[in-house]
């Protein structure tokens, strides 16, 4: 099979591809039509943009079961939303709890605030399958604990974390919870009200199937964040300070309306196909992938074998090969695209025992077929033979 | 000389929400740039007849729209002659 180049994209956890046709179309139509700058001026083209933004906000709110769409601020991505939540909420002397599975989008802002002497932090350790130690959590609260941060699903091994239980534990101490849904939104059902989420960060370009440059932050009523960015909103222009009402409070500067038009089509697509159907299909693909990987001699597969508690992500290493070189050969010989290394999650890799070497991560998407998995497994078997494993 | 009535909102989100709620109602209204003679948080306002404004204000208020004010503006030659805040 060597040389039989394909174009198999297994890096949907980084950004999804392909997108549904309607996403391309919707973003293009938006850019070609004379939409004005949302919120700025009052002419009808601006109003058309305002209506679009309104629809995306309402659609997003419905998707996460958020009662008041105005509590969602659109952001550049999950990183932006997480920074806004962390830096907008925390004050000197606050203590923060976070899990070992967090992404650098959480770890780095926390480390900065900690290094500057503003906050203190405690990391909740996780099992080698990525499950947070809930007993540790119970004992980790301090009177100064101000925030619990949870990565809903690991971008390294796919493990879905029991957010509801963790949030309940935080709420018993009056501590709000920030949930990073970069890997879970669009894969599994998220219900702000049922899960009692205080702050939710999402990104538009992964499983929500939208373009890059889209995302958002939900902020529970009563929680007022200090804005990370200040600037024009088109409203209350006479005010010297940022308006206090949501979403303007957190939305300085022109929104990415073209991207949001695409995101709207992405969420529409998910709703048309049904989130449960998508999740079921992804579970089947992950189960199949996991099982086929175990066939390969010398392989170590990470993450829970049970697909019920995972998103569609699997990490592995092949013998003592370098994961980067393995990724390179997968692309160059076989046309298979995957992500290797530490996946911006150094403590997740320490947790599963793959730091600093990293792993190869396979993240199929909603358009992946079992044929693609078969082709990939064949390639991997060939590589295993070639490298003498 | 003419007169128009306006409803202003706390944000564009509220203004568009109001517009959506009115979609299937039989009021005559239009979203317009807020006249500078009125101070408003949001750049767009709902312009309607002065007969309807109270009913419209009540309807939107019942739906929890964040209304900033109801105004009657007497206008001539693109100038506001008088502005009356109704509530
Ligand atoms: C768990 C997790 N959090 C945050 C992010 C950051 O997402 P983005 O790059 O869209 O801001 C990612 C993706 O890279 C992720 O996997």
Q: What residues 67-86 of chain B have any CB closer than 8 A to a CB of chain A?
A: none
Residue A313 has pLDDT above 90, yes or no: yes
Are B7 and B48 in contact by the 8 Å Cβ rule? The answer is yes
Q: Please check whether residues A107 and A151 belong to one and the same domain.
A: yes
ipTM: 0.84
Q: Please check whether residues A59 and A208 belong to one and the same domain.
A: yes
Write b or e for each residue in A192-209: b if 16 or more Cβ atoms lie within 10 A of its Cβ, otherwise e. beebbbbbbbbbbbbbbb
- List Cβ neighbours of B72 (8 Å cut-off, separation of 6 or more): B3, B4, B5, B50, B53, B83, B84, B86
Which residues of chain B make contact with A50, given a CB cutoff of 8 A?
Answer: 12, 15-16, 44
Predicted local confidence at residue A389, as pLDDT? 82
Residue A2 has pLDDT above 70, yes or no: no
Vertex A164: Cα angle to A158 and A166 (nearest 5): 85
The kind and range of the H/E element at B17 are: helix B12-22
Question: Which of A217, A242, A272 corresponds to the end of one domain?
Answer: A272
* CATH code of residue A156: 3.40.640.10
Q: Please check whether residues A176 and A308 belong to one and the same domain.
A: no
Burial of A115 (0-12, 13-18, 19+ CB in 10 A): exposed
Residue nearest to atom 16 of ligand 1 (CA): A155
Q: Please check whether residues A287 and A371 belong to one and the same domain.
A: yes
Which residues of chain A make contact with B20, given a CB cutoff of 8 A?
Answer: 54
State which ligand 1 atom lies nearest to the alpha carbon of A154: 1
Q: Please check whether residues A36 and A105 belong to one and the same domain.
A: yes
The full DSSP string for B66-85 is: -EEEEEEEEEETTEEEEEEE
Percent of chain A at pLDDT above 90? 90
* CATH code of residue A321: 3.90.1150.10
The answer to whether B46 contacts chain A (CB < 8 Å) is no
- State the pTM of this model: 0.94
Q: Of B16, B33, B42, which is closest to A235 when you measure between CB atoms?
A: B42
Question: What's phi and psi for A83, nearest 5 deg?
Answer: -60, -45
Question: Which of A248, A272, A296 corresponds to the end of one domain?
Answer: A272
Each residue's pLDDT tens digit, A4-62: 557 899 999 999 999 999 999 999 999 999 788 888 777 889 999 999 999 999 999 99
Domain annotation covers residue A377: yes
Handedness of CA A114, A120, A121, A122 (dihedral sign): positive
Closest by CA position to A242, among listed A257, A255, A256, A226: A226
Distance of CA A65 to the CA centre of its chain: 18
Each residue's pLDDT tens digit, A330-372: 999 999 999 999 999 999 999 999 999 999 999 999 999 999 9
The kind and range of the H/E element at B62 are: helix B53-62
Gap between the Cα atoms of A375 and A9, Å rounded = 12
Domain annotation covers residue A284: yes
How many CA atoms are closer than 13 Å to the CA of A15, on its beta-carbon side? 11
Q: Of A43, A47, A235, which is closest to B11 when you measure between CB atoms?
A: A235
Please judge whether B44 and A50 are an interchain contact, meaning their C-beta atoms are less than 8 angstroms apart. Answer: yes
pLDDT band at A3 (very low <50, low <70, confident <90, very high): very low
- List Cβ neighbours of A177 (8 Å cut-off, separation of 6 or more): A147, A148, A149, A150, A163, A166, A167, A170, A171, A197, A198, A199
Q: Please check whether residues A309 and A360 belong to one and the same domain.
A: yes
Are A150 and A180 in contact by the 8 Å Cβ rule? The answer is yes
Question: Which of A242, A272, A302 corresponds to the end of one domain?
Answer: A272
Domains in chain A: how many in total?
Answer: 2
Domain that holds residue A217: 21-272
Distance (Å) from the C-alpha of residue A43 to the closest C-alpha of chain B?
7
Gap between the Cα atoms of A29 and A261, Å rounded = 9
Are B65 and B14 in contact by the 8 Å Cβ rule? The answer is yes
Mark the ranges of chain B whose per-residue pLDDT is less than 50: none
pLDDT band at A1 (very low <50, low <70, confident <90, very high): low
The answer to whether A249 contacts chain B (CB < 8 Å) is no
Q: Please check whether residues A256 and A172 belong to one and the same domain.
A: yes
Listed by start position, the domains of chain B span 2-85
- List Cβ neighbours of A193 (8 Å cut-off, separation of 6 or more): A65, A66, A67
CATH architecture under which domain B2-85 falls: 2-Layer Sandwich (3.30)
């Amino acid at each position: 099979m060597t040389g039989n180049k394909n174009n198999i994209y297994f890096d949907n956890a980084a950004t999804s591809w392909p997108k549904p046709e309607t996403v391309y179309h919707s973003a293009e139509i938006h850019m070609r039509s004379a939409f004005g700058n949302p919120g700025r001026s009052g002419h009808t083209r601006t109003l058309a943009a305002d209506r679009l933004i309104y629809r995306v906000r309402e659609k997003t709110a419905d998707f996460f079961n958020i009662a008041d769409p105005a509590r969602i601020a659109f952001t550049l991505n999950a990183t932006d939303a997480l920074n806004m939540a962390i830096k907008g909420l925390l004050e000197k002397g606050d203590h923060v709890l976070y899990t070992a599975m967090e992404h650098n989008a959480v770890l780095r802002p926390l480390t900065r605030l900690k290094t500057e002497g503003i906050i203190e932090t405690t990391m909740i350790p996780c099992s080698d399958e990525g499950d947070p130690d809930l007993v540790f959590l119970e004992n980790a609260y301090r009177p100064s604990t101000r925030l619990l941060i949870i990565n809903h699903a690991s971008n390294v091994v796919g493990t879905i974390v029991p957010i509801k239980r963790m949030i309940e534990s935080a709420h018993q101490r009056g501590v709000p919870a920030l949930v990073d849904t970069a890997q879970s939104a669009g894969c599994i059902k998220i219900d702000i009200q049922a899960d009692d989420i205080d702050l939710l960060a999402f990104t538009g370009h992964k499983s929500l199937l939208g373009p890059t440059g889209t995302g958002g932050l939900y902020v529970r009523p009563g929680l007022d964040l200090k804005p990370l960015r200040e600037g024009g909103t088109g409203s209350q222009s006479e005010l010297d300070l940022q308006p206090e009402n949501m979403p303007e409070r957190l939305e300085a500067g022109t929104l990415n309306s073209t991207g949001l038009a695409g995101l709207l089509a992405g969420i529409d697509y998910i709703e048309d196909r049904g989130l449960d159907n998508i999740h079921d299909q992804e579970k089947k693909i992950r189960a199949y992938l996991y099982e086929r990987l175990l066939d390969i001699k010398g392989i170590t597969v990470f993450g829970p074998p049970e697909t019920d508690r995972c998103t569609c992500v699997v990490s592995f290493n092949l013998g003592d090969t370098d994961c980067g070189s393995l990724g390179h050969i997968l692309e160059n010989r076989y046309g298979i695209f995957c992500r290797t290394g530490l996946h911006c999650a150094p403590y997740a890799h320490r947790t599963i025992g793959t730091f600093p070497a990293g792993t190869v991560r396979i993240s199929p998407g909603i358009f992946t077929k079992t044929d693609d998995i078969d082709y990939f497994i064949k390639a991997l078997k060939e590589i295993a033979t070639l490298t003498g494993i | 000389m003419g007169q128009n009535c306006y409803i202003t909102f706390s944000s564009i989100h509220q203004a568009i929400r109001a517009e959506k709620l009115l979609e299937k109602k039989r009021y005559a209204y239009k979203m317009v740039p807020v006249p500078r003679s009125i101070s408003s948080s949001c750049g767009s306002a709902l312009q309607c007849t002065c007969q309807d404004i109270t009913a419209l204000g009540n309807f939107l208020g019942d739906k929890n729209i964040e209304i900033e004010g109801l105004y009657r503006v007497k206008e001539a030659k693109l100038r506001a002659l008088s502005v009356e805040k109704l509530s």
